[in-house]
Amino acid sequence: MAKQTRYRIHRRQLLWGTLACFTCLLAPSAAEAKTYGSYQIAQFRREATPEPSNTPIPLPRFYARHVEEGNKLLAQNRISEAMEEFFTAKTINPDYYPTYVGMGNAYKMRGQLEQAMEQYQIAVRLLNPSYASEDMLRAEYFAERRQYRQAIDSYWEVLRIDPQAGNYYTLAMRHLRFGNDRQAIKAFEEAANIDDDYAAPHFQLGNLYFRDNKLQKAVDPYKKAVQMEPNNPLYRFGLGTALYKQATSKSKPDMRMVGDATYAFEQALKLGMQVPRLHFNLGTCYILTQRHDDAIRHLEEAVKRGLKDEDAFYNLGNAYFAKGMTSSFTWDGYDNLADPKKLNQNNVKFGYLLKSVYAYEAALKQKSDYAPVYYDLGAAFYRLSELKLTEPFQKAILQNEATQKDYATRGVKFFREDMLNQAIANFKSFQSYSSDAKKRANASKIVDGLEVQLKELKR
């Protein structure tokens, strides 16, 4: 019997739950803080507007000229002269936060990281932004532990954002909390237009479009976010998810796009992201691209890390089944498998198929009416019926109390009959739970064929 639908990838297969809460998505944990290898002198395109903002209203600009001159001198590596300009600006107006950004940059160029961090701290406190609370918390975490470079990295994530763009971002997030999606989109777009290096608004736009299943519209802002912050694993994760869902939205997957999604997930993993859903998504991509060992490894990792929903077990079962079916070996019913090569082929295939059965059964424990699982479980039992029950697997098979008496009286010869019965039962369950008339009709034909085989065995 040919397996009818092997790589059925469901809409629920990439259910990354973090999309439900946009405010949680922007920053990873402290342990996953981003590290940037280079820094540029802060550029302030324009002064912040007071609405909506916690940022101080700009004062007259004559002191700002000293900061601008200091930044120019820093760009020329004339650090001492730059510091003189910054000190002059500080004397005129000690509350102008760009002064402290410049001083922090100067100290960093000198390798005086503690002093650089202190200046960034002052700048952030004066700025008091509401749009970068996660980065500020992470910076304080590192500062308290005297991890100066990591603290500087996190403070810089706050200071590099144009305050006006940050304020629009804050407004957009507020609109989201009250369900005003249109206004949120406009505010995110405005933030992105003001600061063309600000990745977060693009990421959140991608989240909104993804949530509304506007997959093509989601991919573009996710790509922009990745281009702006290529070392942000969360942005890679979002891009991969949108690409994968778009690639599998039709009956025939777009394998090139699946490959792009796979690359995005792989990069997120290399950048240190280790959440269970990433391993799940990556393993699911590998099923489609027939990298069976990689699929098994990542799906097993997802389960080990706590992802134990029906889709995790179902896809793991699919990966085991696909790996088992890379072998075309079937037992003829007579060969005693004295040939070590044939015995190994039988046992390796048997092992993967049995693992697929266990995974499918675990999925049904999570969701007993999950129709597709019954179909694939029926296929796994049928494929087992084509193999010989050898000694390494007898204990696992014979533990089924419902059939122990039959095995006791008829021996391992009962194995094929047992597997066919279980295959038939699962295909019938699929017919009961599935709403797809065409697939139910196909399952019915399979059951008819299996029942014929069963009758021939009993003669």
pLDDT for the residue 135: 85
pLDDT tens by residue, 13-46 = 443 433 333 333 333 333 333 333 333 333 333 3
Residue 87 has pLDDT above 80, yes or no: yes
What's the rounded mean pLDDT across residues 230-239? 96
pLDDT for the residue 59: 45
My answer on whether omega of the bond before 52 falls inside 30° of 0, hence cis, is: yes
pLDDT tens by residue, 150-191 = 999 999 988 989 999 999 999 999 999 999 999 999 999 999
Residue 283 has pLDDT above 90, yes or no: yes
Residue 365 has pLDDT above 80, yes or no: yes
Single-letter code of the amino acid located at 164:
Q
> Which of 292, 218, 294, 228 is CA-nearest to residue 257?
218
Question: How many CB atoms sit inside 10 A of residue 327's CB?
Answer: 16
Band (400; pLDDT cuts 50, 70, 90): confident
User: Could you give the CA distance from residue 129 to residue 135 in angstroms, rounded to a whole number?
Assistant: 11
DSSP character for 48? Answer: P
Distances (CA, A) of 109 to 39, 151, 159, 175: 9, 16, 17, 40
Band (63; pLDDT cuts 50, 70, 90): confident
User: Could you give the CA distance from residue 400 to residue 379 in angstroms, rounded to a whole number?
Assistant: 19
User: Which fold, 1-15+199-307?
Assistant: 1.25.40
DSSP character for 161? Answer: S
pLDDT for the residue 61: 57
Contact at 8 Å (CB) between 310 and 284?
no
pLDDT for the residue 29: 39
Single-letter code of the amino acid located at 299:
L
* Burial zone of 322 (CB within 10 Å; 0-12 exposed, 13-18 middle, 19+ buried): buried
Contact at 8 Å (CB) between 189 and 197?
no
Residue 224 has pLDDT above 50, yes or no: yes
pLDDT for the residue 375: 98
pLDDT for the residue 251: 86
What's the rounded mean pLDDT across residues 82-101? 93
Residue 145 has pLDDT above 90, yes or no: yes
Residue 421 has pLDDT above 70, yes or no: yes
Q: Which of the two residues, 54 and 298, has the higher pLDDT score? A: 298
What's the rounded mean pLDDT across residues 344-368? 98
Name the residue ranges covered by the structural domains of the chain. Answer: 1-15+199-307, 33-160, 163-195, 334-458
Residue 457 has pLDDT above 90, yes or no: no
pLDDT for the residue 413: 83
Residue 232 has pLDDT above 70, yes or no: yes
Beta-carbon contacts of 169 under 8 Å, excluding residues fewer than 6 positions away, are: 131, 187, 188, 191, 198, 200, 201, 204
pLDDT for the residue 10: 40
Residue 48 has pLDDT above 70, yes or no: no
Give the percent of the chain with pLDDT over 90: 77
Beta-carbon contacts of 424 under 8 Å, excluding residues fewer than 6 positions away, are: 378, 447, 450, 451, 454
Q: Which of the two residues, 72 and 41, has the higher pLDDT score? A: 72
Residue 360 has pLDDT above 90, yes or no: yes
Q: Establish whether domains 1-15+199-307 and 33-160 are of one fold.
A: yes
Long-range contacts (CB closer than 8 Å, 24 or more residues apart) made by 174-178: 174/52, 176/22, 176/23, 176/204, 176/208, 177/23
Band (223; pLDDT cuts 50, 70, 90): very high
Residue 318 has pLDDT above 50, yes or no: yes
Instruction: Assign domain 33-160 to a CATH class.
Output: mainly alpha
User: Could you give the CA distance from residue 313 to residue 330 in angstroms, rounded to a whole number?
Assistant: 26
Mean pLDDT score across all residues of the chain:
87
User: Could you give the CA distance from residue 182 to residue 205 in angstroms, rounded to a whole number?
Assistant: 11
User: How many CA within 13 A on the CB side of residue 278?
Assistant: 20
Contact at 8 Å (CB) between 420 and 382?
yes
Residue 341 has pLDDT above 70, yes or no: yes
**Residue in this structure with the two tokens 């990354």, named with its chain if needed:** 16
Model-level pTM greater than 0.95?
no
pLDDT for the residue 434: 97
Give the percent of the chain with pLDDT over 70: 87
pLDDT for the residue 27: 38
